[in-house]
Structure 1
């Protein structure tokens, strides 16, 4: 096998071949960590690939000079997929890449959309009680049927990330509802009171369709009316085993229906937020253990269904009665929440672990090839 090189597979944000700033910052840290582990890290997109020669015009960061350079290299044997699937038509480029080079060592496989993941997890009797009731939006009848059993519902893009384009609908009285939203630029839109007919007109105007799911609303408000949840990061370590890298709380800004950091949310240490919710040390300790056990169940279940995975972030919540809920699973997680709470050790562990796992897979493949030689 060739020397260990990890190719970070991503996508350009626009036609000017620009990679998102946050991702570039993360890739720079990956490169620095890779240097210490003896693993070269390069960044590539499907647009950079010469498919005939199996070569790529990759980008690599030089920490000593603090600059990016390009160079033509053979396709790396290891691929860390950071391709964001909300990238529109570029998802076809990813499919072409994977189909053209199936023999590369991929750290993970693509995870499905929210609805497919929900249906899979719902089949597990142990996980099912922790899932908010969810269905696809096919018509207004689906929405108002759900509102009969749940006073609050959320409309979420099936493939959306980062809290963008989410709508909250809350039953106000017999024929009126409160509509709140976060637009595609993360902005908080002022809530409005609407009748059932006005709700329908509004949804038609913004083209709500089967690309959305309807999710039961769970009361996750703190005493100051701000919403909160927990971001738990599961990653495989250098032995290929799942571990909880870290977990932190997130509190949304005033008036927000989501807690996402990109939308102005605040990161809070897990213990601090749990203590704020439940003034009972035994209960807090029990909840922490439950979150860890449950997260292991989820990742094992999803990996059996979708194939090898490298890392997953779980968005968890605990309601006022102390019940644990799973809102979403993210296969392309940020590590920023740990940096925001000042936990640099966990942050850097979260950066290193995909690299350590990549080296583990590389060594496994090398041993297999030596046995077959």
Structure 2
């Protein structure tokens, strides 16, 4: 239940004895507390044995002795949730940690690069919901000692680096796939495991692994483009015999990077057309022979790739169109659709990613403006149902802890829905394009609901009768 912390000097709490905590009387019945008792007060793993008294302290709040506040890294005016654990401890929280790759101290206005706006939005919205948010890098976590670490917090309109408790839950927003395969990342996960701190969206996804998993699901099989690994020129030649258009995608790629489109033309001098995107826009190369095409690809492809069937997706004015569903676990830890947008590729682009120059539009509006159907266009409900089933099956089939997914769906000119990709690190800019910047976006609100539920700070655990019994025994031992 929500509570505000007030930090006071010892003299203001003393009434003939030392009182570490003075708790508003409203909490006595709500949490089934005695009028005075000894307890362990815990804030993110930091603990202090305190003598607590219930009293009339004005508005509902927790008055804390200054020494205790310092011991637990609490500050005056802090707003948190209070609950009782099954072991009779008073717990303050939750603390949400956002793990980022780095911080840029020389550019405080963009302290976390393109995640700065998102981190600010989460921190501000979390404060209004009595959730503490800390932003930290892997290096900061690896240096943690005694349940304390250095992290960034947003207070009084500025970012500050402070000493704070370890978080109750971590949201992984690391941007480097390479780092996630490093020894340092394994050490980071070991630290979290040692402190029993869960981390959601813990890693990037492997496109080939996802395809193989979905291909085993009868329900999803008809909606998967034919896909195979690029092993040698024979594998590409075989796919080109079946399909006039192919896409080559890096299995560890994201944001449309490193994708190649191959088209097999007829009755032309150079029948093999290769297209790809650079910072300068669409690039095209044509080759007279299949061997020349392969030679060119081998120079460019420095990591494992898969080969995927090209689809006759619906287009607008020649631009590629697909649909991005942001699917998140809600306050009940069930998957739900947060947003669904249509993404239009830039002129002559082979991808529709907003990060690669595309633009987004409300999905319902997009379906109303798209033309060229040779069948019946899908409904919004059909798109939503497909995205939701993909998320549910993903959760049942893929190892790991995930609470949000970016699911890309394509629709061909016949109205059939195709599963194009699943992303575990959906962009924090794409789903803001249709939102007013003066409000908290729905994806942030839903994530905070999930945090409260996952950490169980929405629920009040009734105190057992032992809260005065066993704790009074401690009092005798301590002579207090």
TM-score, length of structure 1 as denominator length: 0.88
Decide which of 53, 60, 77 is 2:168's aligned counterpart: 77
What's 2:6 paired with? none
**For residues 249-268 of structure 1, what are the structure 2 equivalents within 5 Å?**
249-268=342-361
Decide which of 435, 441, 444 is 1:348's aligned counterpart: 441
Cα deviation per residue 1:26-46 (whole Å; 9 max; x = unaligned)?
111111111111111111121
Cα gap change, 1:229 to 1:69, in 2 (>3 Å)? same
**Contact preservation (8 Å) 2:409, 2:419:** yes
Please state how far the C-alpha of 1:161 moved relative to its aligned partner.
Answer: 0.8
Structure 1: gaps (5+ residues): none
Decide which of 386, 389, 404 is 1:297's aligned counterpart: 389
Secondary structure of 1:93's counterpart equals helix
Cα gap change, 1:369 to 1:162, in 2 (>3 Å)? farther
**Mapped pair 1:227 → 2:317:** no
Please state how far the C-alpha of 1:366 moved relative to its aligned partner.
Answer: 7.2
**Mapped pair 1:178 → 2:273:** yes
Determine the C-alpha separation between the residues in 2 that align with 1:117 and 1:23.
27
Cα deviation per residue 1:317-345 (whole Å; 9 max; x = unaligned)?
10000000111111111243343234669
Cα deviation per residue 1:195-219 (whole Å; 9 max; x = unaligned)?
312211111212444x211111112
Please state how far the C-alpha of 1:370 moved relative to its aligned partner.
Answer: 7.1
Cα deviation per residue 1:220-271 (whole Å; 9 max; x = unaligned)?
2525211111111111112222111110111111111101111110111111
Cα gap change, 1:130 to 1:13, in 2 (>3 Å)? farther
Decide which of 95, 110, 133 is 1:5's aligned counterpart: 95
**Contact preservation (8 Å) 2:192, 2:198:** no
**Contact preservation (8 Å) 1:313, 1:333:** yes
Determine the C-alpha separation between the residues in 2 that align with 1:352 and 1:35.
12
Structure 2: gaps (5+ residues): 1-41, 44-92, 468-480
**Contact preservation (8 Å) 1:181, 1:189:** yes
**Mapped pair 1:205 → 2:295:** no
**For residues 127-166 of structure 1, what are the structure 2 equivalents within 5 Å?**
127-166=220-259
**Contact preservation (8 Å) 1:234, 1:242:** yes
Cα gap change, 1:287 to 1:350, in 2 (>3 Å)? same
Please state how far the C-alpha of 1:111 moved relative to its aligned partner.
Answer: 5.2
Cα deviation per residue 1:28-77 (whole Å; 9 max; x = unaligned)?
11111111111111111211121554432211223x42x32111222111
**Mapped pair 1:42 → 2:134:** yes
**Contact preservation (8 Å) 1:246, 1:346:** no
Cα gap change, 1:225 to 1:244, in 2 (>3 Å)? same
Determine the C-alpha separation between the residues in 1 that align with 2:192 and 2:414.
50
- After superposing the two structures, state which structure 1 stretch, 239-248 or 8-17, moved more: 8-17
Determine the C-alpha separation between the residues in 2 that align with 1:146 and 1:367.
58
Determine the C-alpha separation between the residues in 1 that align with 2:221 and 2:331.
31
Please state how far the C-alpha of 1:189 moved relative to its aligned partner.
Answer: 3.6
Determine the C-alpha separation between the residues in 1 that align with 2:245 and 2:439.
35
Q: Size of the alignment, in residue pairs?
A: 366
TM-score, length of structure 2 as denominator length: 0.69
Cα gap change, 1:14 to 1:252, in 2 (>3 Å)? same
What's 1:61 paired with? 154
Please state how far the C-alpha of 1:364 moved relative to its aligned partner.
Answer: 6.8
Cα gap change, 1:189 to 1:279, in 2 (>3 Å)? closer
The structure having more radius of gyration, on CA atoms, is 2
Determine the C-alpha separation between the residues in 1 that align with 2:179 and 2:264.
33
What's 1:95 paired with? 186
Determine the C-alpha separation between the residues in 2 that align with 1:11 and 1:240.
27
**Contact preservation (8 Å) 1:132, 1:215:** yes
**Contact preservation (8 Å) 2:207, 2:421:** yes
Cα gap change, 1:346 to 1:29, in 2 (>3 Å)? closer
Please state how far the C-alpha of 1:162 moved relative to its aligned partner.
Answer: 0.5
Determine the C-alpha separation between the residues in 1 that align with 2:205 and 2:441.
28
**Contact preservation (8 Å) 2:204, 2:425:** no
